[in-house]
Amino acid sequence: MPEEIPERLRDALERRDAAALERLLSSAVRLVLDTGDDEGRTIQRRRQVIPFLLSHASTHRSLRITVETVNGMPGIVLRAKRGTALGVLVLSVRRRAVTDIWMVAAPDKLTRWSGDDASEEKETRGRS
């Protein structure tokens, strides 16, 4: 995978830049969403994937988007301000275009991706 693809995707998500996403994603891109429940689904085609990604990136005002190694490959981690992981994306790239995105958003599968601040955030919420 070209190393700059995850960075360019991160930048496009941070800027909420639909045109940049369109240039990065294959027209037949497929996003598989693992929510750990019946809400999980597969989203096909660039015209459906782009609004989904932008909506997810816009859900949290203080979202931090980082490029990290995921299963030995460059991936993207979406975190809330205090470090709680909200999603992990693994990419498949062919001919310099993202063809597949596997997005894990199941809370129980994201616990190892949450930083130390995340456990502090949970404790604070529990005391309120």
Quick one: pLDDT at residue 17? Answer: 96
How far, in Å, CA of 28 to CA of 50, rounded? 12
Phi-psi region of 16 (alpha: psi -120 to 50; beta: other; left: phi over 0): left
> What percent of the chain lies above the pLDDT cut of 70?
87
pLDDT band at 2 (very low <50, low <70, confident <90, very high): low
Per-residue pLDDT, 125? 33
The DSSP string of 11-43 is HHHHHT-HHHHHHHEEEEEEEEEE-SSTT-EEE
What are the pLDDT digits (tens) for 27-48? 999 999 998 888 889 999 999 9
Q: What is the pTM of this model?
A: 0.82
How long is the chain?
128
With tokens 């891109």, the residue in question is 29
What pLDDT is attached to residue 82? 82
pLDDT at 112: 84
- Domains detected in the chain: 4-127 (3.10.450.50)
Q: What pLDDT is stored for residue 7 in this prediction?
A: 95
Position 108 pLDDT exceeds 60: yes
Q: Is the pLDDT of residue 117 over 80?
A: no
| Average pLDDT of span 59-81 | 87
Closest CA to 78 of 6, 5, 25: 6
